[in-house]
């Protein structure tokens, strides 16, 4: 259904996460504020590929402001820019390609996210390798939705999300954390995540580490942190937190509790 694609597009534009390091400090993109309509020197001619591109983007989210639209270096596609995101739309208006980090390939005619269909089934298979006993779970008594969240104790957006854990639970959302120490194996960051997983009370240890930055205890226990880290990479993780639905659909980085519930309801509604 088109509302599923709309939810994915919304999280693509508002993705808020701590990036994996690439020789520099962590980065995060604040949620974009989008306005309706298209801007530019001239309005695209009716029936032109440019007009179909603007219409395709508006079909997904009428609040997205198209800053620029032009011919594309890709044959058969028109190029548009909205909120700093490069978007390619097929000249017949059927396919929409979100370029860059968090990108997707959408079939608007059949209301399908082709990228997520390809990744979702694989993610579900990968996540099935991590039993509940190796997850750090914060859940209400009768959850309506369950999400898997790859997290890091040193990520600012991960800390912000955890500060609102009670509100996620109040929204009927169970949060199942997996470890993704962004600095990688051999780092102090990685060792700290192992210490959390080696704790006798992982929930308390994770909460304390995110709230205070203090991690105590041993990192010498048998654990699955490296396995979780590897699975995160294979699942297409580009930053933490990474939120995945039960069907393996990526829902963004930090998403406020009410917005996450809304997106999950849309997915469940088909």
Domain co-membership, 68 together with 113: yes
Residue 217: per-residue pLDDT: 87
Q: What is the CATH number of the domain that holds 182?
A: 3.40.30.10
From CA 55, how far away is CA 125, in angstroms rounded? 36
* Whether residues 240 and 154 fall in one domain: yes
Do 109 and 128 lie in a common domain? no
Distance CA(108)–CA(1), nearest Å, equals 10
* Average pLDDT for 230-257: 93
Domain count, the chain: 2
| Burial 192-218, CB ≥16 within 10 A → b, else e | bbbbbbbbeebeebbbbbbeeeebeee
**248 falls in which pLDDT band (50, 70, 90)?**
very high
Statement to judge: residues 132 and 242 lie in one domain: yes
* 196 and 217 share one domain: yes
Residue 54 · residue 44 · CB < 8 Å:
yes
Asked if 131 and 256 sit in the same domain, the reply is yes
What is residue 231's predicted lDDT score, i.e. its pLDDT?
97
Same-domain status, 26 and 80: yes
pLDDT greater than 50 at residue 3: no
> What's the pLDDT tens digit per position in 192-213?
999 999 999 999 999 999 999 8
Q: What pLDDT, on a 0 to 100 scale, did the predictor assign at position 14?
A: 47
Do residues 227 and 106 both lie within one domain? no
Question: Are residues 99 and 110 located together in one domain of the fold?
Answer: yes
Q: Which of 118, 136, 152 is the last residue of a domain?
A: 118
Same domain, 187 and 209: yes
242 DSSP β-pair partners: 150
Domain boundaries, position 170:
120-269
Q: Are residues 231 and 161 in the same domain?
A: yes
pLDDT band for position 269 (cuts 50, 70, 90): confident
Flag whether the pTM goes above 0.85. no
Boundary (domain end) residue, out of 72, 102, 118 = 118
What secondary structure letter does DSSP report for 101? T
**Are 26 and 159 contained in the same domain?**
no
**Of the residues 96, 118, 140, which one is the last residue of a structural domain?**
118
């Amino acid at each position: 259904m088109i509302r599923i694609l709309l939810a994915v597009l919304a999280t693509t534009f508002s993705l808020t996460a701590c990036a994996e390091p690439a020789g520099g400090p962590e980065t995060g993109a604040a949620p974009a504020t989008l306005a309706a309509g298209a801007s530019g020197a001239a309005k695209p001619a009716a029936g032109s590929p440019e007009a179909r591109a603007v219409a395709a983007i508006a079909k997904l989210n009428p609040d997205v402001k198209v800053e620029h639209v032009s011919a594309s270096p890709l044959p058969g596609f028109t190029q548009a820019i909205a909120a700093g995101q490069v978007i390619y739309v097929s000249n017949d208006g059927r396919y929409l390609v979100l370029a860059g980090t968090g990108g997707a390939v959408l079939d608007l005619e059949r209301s399908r996210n082709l990228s997520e269909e390809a990744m979702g089934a694989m993610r579900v298979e990968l996540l099935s390798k991590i039993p509940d006993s190796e997850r750090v779970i914060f859940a209400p008594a009768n959850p309506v939705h369950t999400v898997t969240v790859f997290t890091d104790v040193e990520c600012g957006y991960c800390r912000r999300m955890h500060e609102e854990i009670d509100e996620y639970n109040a929204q009927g959302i169970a949060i199942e954390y997996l470890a993704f120490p962004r600095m990688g194996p051999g780092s102090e960051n990685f060792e700290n995540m192992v210490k959390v997983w080696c704790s006798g009370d992982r929930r308390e240890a994770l909460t304390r580490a995110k709230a205070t930055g203090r991690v105590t205890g041993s990192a010498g226990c048998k654990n699955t942190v490296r396995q979780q880290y590897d699975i995160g990479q294979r699942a297409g993780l580009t930053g933490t937190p990474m939120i995945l639905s039960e069907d393996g659909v990526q829902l963004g980085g930090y998403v406020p509790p009410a917005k996450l519930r809304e997106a999950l309801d849309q997915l469940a509604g088909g």
